[in-house]
A and B are shown apart, each in its own frame.
Chain A
Amino acid sequence: MDLFGNLALGFSVALTPFNLLCGFLGVLVGTLVGVLPGIGPIGAIALLLPTTFGLDPISALIMLAGIYYGSQYGGSTTAILLNLPGESASAVTTIDGYQMARRGRAGPALFAAGIGSFFAGTVATLIIALFALPLTELALKFGPAEYFSLMVLGLILSVALASGSVIKSIAMIVVGLLLGLVGSDIYTGSSRFTLGFLELEDGLNFVALSVGLFGLVEIFRNLENESAGKVSITKINGLLPSKEDVKRMIAPILRGTLIGSALGVLPGGSAVLSSFAGYTIEKKVSKNSAEFGHGAIEGVAAPESANNAAAQTSFIPMLSLGIPGNATMALMYGAMIIHGITPGPTVATSNPELFWGLIVSMWLGNLALIVLNLPLVGIWVKLLTIPYYVMFPAIIAFCVIGVYSVGYNAFDLYQVTLFGLAGYLLMRLRCEPAPLVLGFVLGPMFEDHLRRAMLLSRGDPTVFVTRPISATILLLAVVALVIVSMPAAKKRRESMFVDED
């Protein structure tokens, strides 16, 4: 009864005309932004976050969630049609998707991606509905020591499971943690690292930081090479797949959904990782593995299902434990805070209509995605003919107004420029900004739990290893760290993200 009662509550919230509209708009705008190369889900959420400020928290979150999976999905459309992944999670879709399109089978490829995403989204939504609540109850038993260890594990896993240098990613997390501490100390009220700026007493502006690091840096990166390359667009004749196609796509969709759902729940698991894992595993188990790389429909169905499933289940750690597992969730976390909700185990009990409304709206959003995308694919493709030099001033205008509207504070805009330039410098030094944002969001929580744990243990630092749950979590973190540092694993990890061409 409980689950159905809760889902019914969710439907009653998500089905109000206004919330439906918000979800629909979110998906629409998300797809639009996702189709444009250069702005991924993180950039899309950062850019559009301020447009939700006027809404009530539920509608705003429904819209942001829509933007998130809309942009995720939009990326796969361009991956298939143009060999251009709109965002990194769909990079692997280009391998077989584009080959299919070149053989005149763009329609079935898009269909496989769409139906796979929808199925995966439905299953993942159910998983959230089933598991978020029990996890919440578990989380309520956690003390500060467990929380601290859990965050360590989450941060380590987010590094271990992502691409790029492990040690640099950890360093970026630490920078993020430090930046998160700027402002007045909650225990003593003394101002820290503010350089005397009163505006910094409340900390650095989260929206300005993410817009600078993801919006401006992306523009700078695109301005590095202004090639005159014209996009040639594949024609789509007929969306419907043949019977043979349908048969071949069922198992990959199921496997992809499974892999994605599992990887999404892990702290640090991301849509990017799941689509790569989905593709690699499918290639190993498929009967048609020889066809992979030459337009195998399995190579589209599996990663697309996996990344959509992971995009959804990655909400679980945030909704139940209050710990964002990856940078995108860190942004959603920030968004919830801005709307006056502290994500964590108490949300499900104190705000059930928000909790369940959001979950149900995810499923509705997936439905909207498929209804919207398959028929409208022609329009999305037209968008790609807009040259970049026309687009980036629009992105800047949105960044500027968006950040300014957070607090009507000129100081926030200076932060955008500062973080944009600093982020570009770091990017040139081959340091990715995503771990920094994750650290930034976790910084204050991290310190708070550490201090509380130490107070409770009367200053005994062994508390983290003498409490069994905490010790187990820390042990897992150490194991993860050891595994990624081993030379063999290192090689496999690199090859997994580069993968075949």
Chain B
Amino acid sequence: MAHKLGFDRTEVASGLVFIAIGAWFGITSLTSLRLGSTFQMGPGYFPLVLSILLITLGSAIALKPVAQKMKDVGPPIPWRGLILVGLAPVFVALTVRGLGLAPALFIATAFTSFASRRMTPLLALGLAAGLTVFCVALFSYGLRLPIQVIGPWLQP
């Protein structure tokens, strides 16, 4: 059976990602860093070489024709998971100094639990409470990490 030659969209996209990364590093090296010579390489020399290599590889990946196969869609993107899980470190980063470890961790784990569609509110609260107690006991009291358990925002 003859396959029609064409481009795989996933491959083209990944090639473009590599080209974009290479372009950014390459342009930055060219515009704001000293290149130097092969004898005394400046800070921009090696990154420029790497970015040219990366752009070449990216183009080869994107332009490689492949036999057209059935559309490979892949599993659905877990948007809810991406958002809720991705927010957890950011939330802790913003609040751990102010609220302290225990409240910051409790809130973060409580909302991040809902990244799964099978989570129920009651279970999430229980889970967050259990994890907070465990982590505070392990990290603050066990390993003595210097993070305040209850932060200044909550202290009178």
Contact = CB atoms under 8 A, between A and B. Distances in A.
Interface of A: 51, 54, 167-168, 170-171, 174-175, 177-178, 181, 185, 187-188, 190, 192-193, 216, 219-220, 223-226, 228, 387-390, 392-394, 396-401, 403-405, 408, 410-411, 413-414, 416-417, 420-421, 424-426, 428-431, 446-447, 450-451, 454-455, 458-461
Nearest to A171: B57
A175 B47 contact: no
A170 B47 CA distance: 16
Given A190-B34, A389-B113, A393-B113, A178 B51 contact: yes
A368 to B, nearest CB: 21
11 contacts: A167-B61, A174-B57, A175-B54, A219-B81, A223-B85, A226-B117, A393-B131, A401-B139, A410-B97, A417-B87, A425-B17
Contacts of A396: 85, 88-89, 108-109, 112
Given A178-B51, A178-B54, A455-B40, A400 B143 contact: no
Interface string B17-58: 110011001001100011001111111111100110110011
Interface residues of B, number: 74
A54 B143 contact: yes
Contacts of B14: 168, 426, 429-431
Given A192-B33, A223-B115, A414-B90, A424 B82 contact: yes
B46 A403 contact: no
A168 B92 contact: no
B33 to A, nearest CB: 6
B71 interface: no
Contacts, number: 188
B57 A170 contact: yes
Contacts of A177: 50
A397 B135 contact: yes
Contact of B118 (A220, A389, A399, A460): A389
A438 to B, nearest CB: 15
A410 B96 CA distance: 9
Interface of B: 10-11, 13-14, 17-18, 21-22, 25, 28-29, 33-34, 37-47, 50-51, 53-54, 57-58, 60-61, 74-78, 80-82, 85-90, 92-94, 96-97, 101, 105, 108-109, 112-113, 115-119, 123, 127-128, 131-132, 135, 139, 143-147
A429 B62 CA distance: 12
Contact of B54 (A174, A394, A431): A174
Contact of A414 (B45, B89, B105, B131): B89
A171 B89 contact: no
Contacts of B105: 397, 400-401
Contacts of B29: 192
A220 B78 contact: yes
Nearest to A458: B39
Contacts of A223: 78, 80-81, 85, 115-116
B28 A401 contact: no
- Interface of B, secondary structure class, is helix
A321 B105 CA distance: 41
B77 A428 contact: yes
A388 B116 contact: yes
A413 B115 contact: no
Contacts of A417: 86-87, 89-90
Q: Closest 8 A-B residue pairs measured CB to CB?
A: A459-B39, A223-B81, A389-B116, A413-B93, A429-B14, A185-B43, A410-B93, A223-B78
A379 to B, nearest CB: 18
A450 B139 CA distance: 42
A430 B10 contact: yes
A393 B43 contact: no
Contact of A224 (B13, B18, B78, B123): B78
Contacts of A185: 43
A399 B139 CA distance: 13
B108 A167 contact: no
B37, B58, B87, most chain A CB atoms within 10 A: B58
